[in-house]
A and B are shown apart, each in its own frame.
Chain A
Amino acid sequence: MAVLKDDTLPIRTSEDVVRVRKEVRVQAIAAGFGIVDQTKIITAASELARNTLDYGGGGTARLELVQNGARKGLRLTFEDKGPGIPDLQLALTDGYTTGGGLGLGLSGAKRLSNEFDIHSVVGEGTRITIARWK
């Protein structure tokens, strides 16, 4: 699998979350995504970027434009050195929130992606990778 483009953006403020959305949109268009696929991956990115900010205490978003044979896709990695998630299954349950949210960010981002991988260690941080293919 070839990586055609690879950028890492900081997530420190809510303006950074907006910037991540914009950049994901640019990459989704570059990947040839139609409007629905664009909307899904931007929405998933928005959820995860916000979690990185709100729960992870800030971190980074890595945006990779990837190609697998004839297929292009977008792989996004959100990483923080925050408190980590003690119970992943619980965190991925619709409606579960510790921050007064709707509890749909993680589970929703998973539904909106073709691939979803989460790695979290309490006291060390969280890394979530999603991918969506054209």
Chain B
Amino acid sequence: MDRIPILKLGRALLVTVQVDMHDRLAMALEEDLSEKIVATNARGVLIDISGLEIVDSFMGRMLDNIAAVSRLLDADTVVVGMRPAVAITLVELGLSLTGVKTALNVDRGMALIGTGFGAHDGADDDGVGSEDTDGRVEG
């Protein structure tokens, strides 16, 4: 069965949702993510939905669930890259995703999680380019 890849990015996990997910794939993602948060000690989860042309209430609930489970496991969830048309549609649908943080792109999402890069945590920084070191401090 297909799985959505989960990448480690500093002390966060990055999930890029590109395909039009069907239900089973979405459920599997929820499970995989919660296991991986614990296994990697991640402090945040970034879910990149810039590739999604719609978010319906099923997907919205999934994002809310992931955020709720992550919170219990001491990790923040940030949904990044929501398309403007998706945001407009979500509001009209009545789904405001109050439980999740959002950011315009992955860099800003990382800043929101406050993981920072480099300095204190070099060993965990696989996959992060050195060009990403400027201007990303928490607070």
A25–B60 CA distance with the chains assembled, in angstroms: 20
Q: Mark A16-52, 1 if CB is under 8 A from B, else 0.
A: 0110011001000000000110111011001100100
Whether A21 contacts B94 by the Cβ 8 Å rule is: no
A112 at interface, CB cutoff 8 A: yes
Whether B56 contacts A50 by the Cβ 8 Å rule is: yes
Chain B residue, CB-CB nearest to A25:
B53
Q: Which of B3-11, B38-46, B82-90, B108-116 forms part of the interface with chain A?
A: B82-90
Whether B54 contacts A46 by the Cβ 8 Å rule is: yes
A46 to chain B: which residues have CB within 8 Å?
54, 56, 58
- Count contacts on A: residues with CB < 8 A to the other chain: 26
Chain A residue, CB-CB nearest to B60:
A102
Whether A39 contacts B95 by the Cβ 8 Å rule is: no
B131 at interface, CB cutoff 8 A: no
Whether B85 contacts A14 by the Cβ 8 Å rule is: no
Whether B54 contacts A108 by the Cβ 8 Å rule is: no
How far in angstroms is the closest Cβ of chain A from B127? Answer: 30
Whether A102 contacts B88 by the Cβ 8 Å rule is: no
Known: A14-B22, A15-B22. A42 touches B53 (CB 8 A): yes
Chain B residue, CB-CB nearest to A16:
B22
A50 to chain B: which residues have CB within 8 Å?
56, 58
B61 at interface, CB cutoff 8 A: yes
Which A residues have a C-beta under 8 Å from some C-beta of B? 14-15, 17-18, 21-22, 25, 35-36, 38-40, 42-43, 46-47, 50, 94, 101-102, 104-105, 107-108, 111-112
Q: Could you list 12 further interchain pairs (A-B, Cβ under 8 angstroms) beyond the known A14-B22, A46-B56, A50-B56?
A: A18-B20, A18-B22, A22-B20, A36-B84, A39-B89, A47-B57, A101-B58, A102-B57, A104-B95, A107-B94, A108-B93, A111-B93
